[in-house]
Amino acid sequence: MKPTFVMITSAGPNRDLTKSTREQPFWDEHAEFIDRLVAEGFIWMGGPLVDEGGSLLFFHAADENEVRERTKNDPWLKQGILKLESIKHWEIFIDERK
C-alpha cells in the first residue's frame, strides 16, 4: 500500500463563515472533484473542520508531490474557498478499523 498523507486546509479568503459547508459557492463542483478522487481510491477519508471552515483529507499517495498535483484543480482551492496549509506524511500506529 502507498504511504498515507494528510492535507490540512483552512478557510480561504472567499469562504463565507456564516454559511454551512454545502452552502458555499462552487459546492457542487468541489463535491464532484472530491468524489472522483475517492472513487479512484486516492482519498480514503476526509471532512470539514466544522468550527474553522477548513478541512482534513487523507490520501494514499506515492509522495507529497502527487497529493499537490492531483488536488491543485480542486475548485475550492482555485476559488479561494479553502487555503492549503500543509501536507504531512503520516504513519498510522492506531487503527480500530482493522
Nearest-angstrom CA–CA distance, 26 and 81: 9
pTM: 0.92
Q: Does residue 98 lie within any of the structural domains?
A: no
Q: How does pLDDT run across 19-69, given as a tens digit for each residue?
A: 999 999 999 999 999 999 999 999 999 999 988 999 999 999 999 999 999
Tell me, what DSSP letter sits at residue 23?
A: G
* Count of structural domains, the chain: 1
Q: What's 39's domain CATH number?
A: 3.30.70.1060
Q: Does residue 34 lie within any of the structural domains?
A: yes
Whether 7 and 71 have beta carbons less than 8 Å apart is answered as: yes
**Which residue shows C-alpha cell 481510491?**
41
Percent helix / strand / coil, the chain, rounded to 5:
30, 30, 40
Q: Does residue 27 lie within any of the structural domains?
A: yes
Domain assignment of residue 77, given as a range: 4-90
Tell me, what DSSP letter sits at residue 21?
A: G
**Which residue shows C-alpha cell 475517492?**
38
